[in-house]
Amino acid sequence: MLYKNFIGGQWLESSSKRVFKSLNPADSSEVIGEFQDSDADDVNRAVQAARAAYPGWRLTPAPKRGEILYRAAQILVSRKEELSGQMTREMGKVIEEARGDVQEAIDMTFYMAGEGRRQFGQTTPSELQNKFCMTTRAPLGVCALITPWNFPMAIPAWKSMPALILGNTIVMKPSPEAPLSMLNLVKILEEAGIPPGVVNMVTSSGPDAGRALVAHPAVRAVSFTGSTAVGKEVAAACAVSFKHLTLEMGGKNAILVMEDADLALAVDGAVWGGFGTTGQRCTAASRIVVHKDIYEAFSSKFVERARALKPGNGLDPSVQLGPLINEQQLHKVEEYVRIGKEEGAKLLTGGERLRPKGCSGGSFYAPTIFGDCDPRMRIVQEEIFGPVVALLPCSSLDEAVEFGNAVPYGLSSAIYTRDLNKAFRAMRDMETGIFYVNASTIGAETHLPFGGVKQTGNGHREAAVAALDFYSEWKSVYIDFSGRLQRAQIDTELSF
Ligand code: UN1
């Protein structure tokens, strides 16, 4: 199947005349489709289309924009099963999780549709008589949205829905590893009646189209989710023209398991957080800091559960562990396992490639746990983005928090404890944008701000009302109905 770019309401081939293939990571002999390998020309056309559509969309009443989003959400609901199956085939996550990904897109679309009738500003008294003050939100213009493959529908929805409901027009570029899910979302927006040019999408196999998009002078805002290394490059490119920028980058998230934790619950959380999506979430629990009093009991149960996970093609509902996204990612994981051994971490399970039955061409790796890790080890410091978890013994809550914070990232963290005091202290002291008590590090909901501190982000949040703040500018409005010149700060009647 040949898929095209979506520009100005039309499905178009790239001017490069090149295409690239997207493969099923569970079986690389299965081609998902051929996609346009777009170049700077295509990007320019998409941005121009978005620019041309902006005045009309900006002036479309927000509740009307919301109606289109409601329709899109309803179509997503009606096609959830089909969209989920396609997602599992294109990027490997097990079918139950693919349904979750589509559900997250549904939630975000309904949520932002509702913002069509909200987008509340403030009214506030003036310091002068016969003067009225209020704030309103104004859209930015053309927004460039660059998304990763690990949440191939949820993340495009996180970015596009708030941008659209506020009256911005968008150009999206998916990861070459999972373009189909974004394309499906775009098709649904088209079907829901989004006007031509409001939503545009270009696909590309390499970094050039993304670079051209970020550098384009007509782009006013960029939203990027991906690695910290690429995020740095995007930030530098945006800085020269003062483009608004939101970055969601790496994570090295910790679960703190205290001596009074419900052990079975903590193990459940570690398995889900560490090996869900095969560890390929920016929120994955890649470090577990365990109190020494329960360290042995915890690690033996955790290892047992990790070994029992069934790998394979995620379309089989009994499969619990899908493949890594590609061979390159598998080699990265192999390299980190080598580094971990060299650093002296104790390999408790895993550490090898898997070849599940019927998936000979897939990039599978065993759930891997390293014990007795030291906070300074590279496998504890660096994001691996695979099924590799480091266990760190600790001797107190203070030490657990210290270890938890001793990384360059700050996306998500969690504590398992029955002690309310410990839970609140950790909540206050963990340097992360997301914190869980007696739940794993993954599972953010769409109506709460999503994002992280330190090298995870640049101070913005996605989702929730926080997303509206990124995709709009405040306009402060003063209406003077006195009919005479009134001078703020000067014509004061009261003095102290
Ligand atoms: C990501 O890994 O980039 O909280 C996003 C979660 C999901 C989103 C993860 N709702 O794990």
d(CA 147, CA 278): 19
Helix (H) or strand (E) holding 354: strand 353-354
CB of 283 closer than 6 A to ligand 1?
yes
Instruction: Respond yes or no: is residue 373 known to be catalytic.
Output: no
CB of 282 closer than 6 A to ligand 1?
yes
Instruction: Respond yes or no: is residue 335 known to be catalytic.
Output: no
Which of 248, 259, 383, 462 is catalytic? The answer is 248
Cβ within 8 Å of residue 7, ≥6 positions away: 42, 45, 46, 49, 200, 201, 202
What is residue 122's predicted lDDT score, i.e. its pLDDT? 97
Cβ within 8 Å of residue 441, ≥6 positions away: 253, 254, 255, 273, 283, 284, 285, 411, 412, 413, 414, 434
Structure tokens at 450: 């999503």
DSSP 3-state percent helix, strand, coil across the chain (nearest 5): 40, 25, 35
**DSSP one-letter string for 284-314:** -EEEEEEEHHHHHHHHHHHHHHHHHPPBS-T
**CA 412 to ligand 1: nearest atom:** 4
Helix (H) or strand (E) holding 472: strand 472-480
CB of 93 closer than 6 A to ligand 1?
no
CB of 449 closer than 6 A to ligand 1?
no
CB of 373 closer than 6 A to ligand 1?
no
CB of 100 closer than 6 A to ligand 1?
no
Distances in whole angstroms, Cα of residue 50 to Cα of each of 2, 3, 15, 144: 24, 20, 18, 10
Residue whose tokens read 């121009």 = 48
Which of 282, 359, 373, 394 is catalytic? The answer is 282
What is residue 496's predicted lDDT score, i.e. its pLDDT? 64
Are 319 and 312 a contacting pair, CB within 8 Å? yes
Strand partners, 138: 473
What's phi and psi for 278, nearest 5 deg? 55, 35
Any idea which architecture 254-437 has in CATH?
A: 3-Layer(aba) Sandwich (3.40)
Q: How far, in Å, is the centroid of ligand 1 from the Cα of 281? A: 6
Cβ within 8 Å of residue 485, ≥6 positions away: none
d(CA 2, CA 19): 9
Q: How far, in Å, is the centroid of ligand 1 from the Cα of 375? A: 24
Based on C-alpha coordinates, what's the Rg of the chain?
24
**CA 443 to ligand 1: nearest atom:** 4
Distances in whole angstroms, Cα of residue 188 to Cα of each of 9, 164, 197, 412, 423: 12, 14, 15, 32, 43
Q: How far, in Å, is the centroid of ligand 1 from the Cα of 285? A: 11
What is residue 409's predicted lDDT score, i.e. its pLDDT? 98
Alpha helix ranges (H) inside 367-472: 378-381, 397-405, 420-429, 464-470
Which residue out of 448, 450, 461, 462 has the highest number of ligand 1 atoms within 8 Å of its CB and is therefore the one to mutate?
Answer: 450
pLDDT tens-digit readout, 329-364: 999 999 999 999 999 999 999 999 999 998 978 999
Which residue out of 385, 442, 445, 461 has the highest number of ligand 1 atoms within 8 Å of its CB and is therefore the one to mutate?
Answer: 442
- Closest protein CA for atom 3 of ligand 1: 282
Q: How far, in Å, is the centroid of ligand 1 from the Cα of 277? A: 10
Q: How far, in Å, is the centroid of ligand 1 from the Cα of 108? A: 13
Reduced to 3 states (helix: H, G, I; strand: E, B; else coil), residue 349 is strand
Structure tokens at 449: 């701000």
CB of 397 closer than 6 A to ligand 1?
no
pLDDT in tens, the chain (496 residues): 999 999 999 999 999 999 999 999 999 899 999 999 999 999 999 999 999 999 999 999 999 999 999 999 999 999 999 999 999 999 999 999 999 999 999 999 999 999 999 999 999 999 999 999 999 999 999 999 999 999 999 999 999 999 999 999 999 999 999 999 999 999 999 999 999 999 999 999 999 999 999 999 999 999 999 999 999 999 999 999 999 999 999 999 999 999 999 999 999 999 999 999 999 999 999 999 999 999 999 999 999 999 999 999 999 999 999 999 999 999 999 999 999 999 999 999 999 999 999 897 899 999 999 999 999 999 999 999 999 999 999 999 999 999 999 999 999 999 999 999 999 999 999 999 999 999 999 999 999 999 999 999 999 999 999 999 999 999 999 999 999 999 999 997 665 6
CB of 284 closer than 6 A to ligand 1?
no
Which residue out of 246, 283, 461 has the highest number of ligand 1 atoms within 8 Å of its CB and is therefore the one to mutate?
Answer: 283
> Residues 285-300, buried b or exposed e (16+ Cβ, 10 A)?
bbbbbbbeebbeebbe
Distances in whole angstroms, Cα of residue 151 to Cα of each of 2, 155, 308, 492: 22, 6, 25, 56
Q: Which superfamily does 5-249+457-477 belong to?
A: Aldehyde Dehydrogenase; Chain A, domain 1 (3.40.605.10)
CB of 183 closer than 6 A to ligand 1?
no
**CA 446 to ligand 1: nearest atom:** 10
CATH 3.40.309.10 range(s) for the chain read: 254-437
User: Both ends of the chain: CA-CA distance in Å?
Assistant: 76
CB of 105 closer than 6 A to ligand 1?
no
Sign of CA dihedral 465, 467, 469, 472: negative
d(CA 243, CA 446): 25
- Specify the DSSP class assigned to residue 270: H
CATH 3.40.605.10 range(s) for the chain read: 5-249+457-477
Structure tokens at 465: 């009302």
Q: How far, in Å, is the centroid of ligand 1 from the Cα of 476? A: 35
Are 174 and 186 a contacting pair, CB within 8 Å? no
Cβ within 8 Å of residue 325, ≥6 positions away: 25, 91, 92, 149, 150, 177, 178, 280, 363
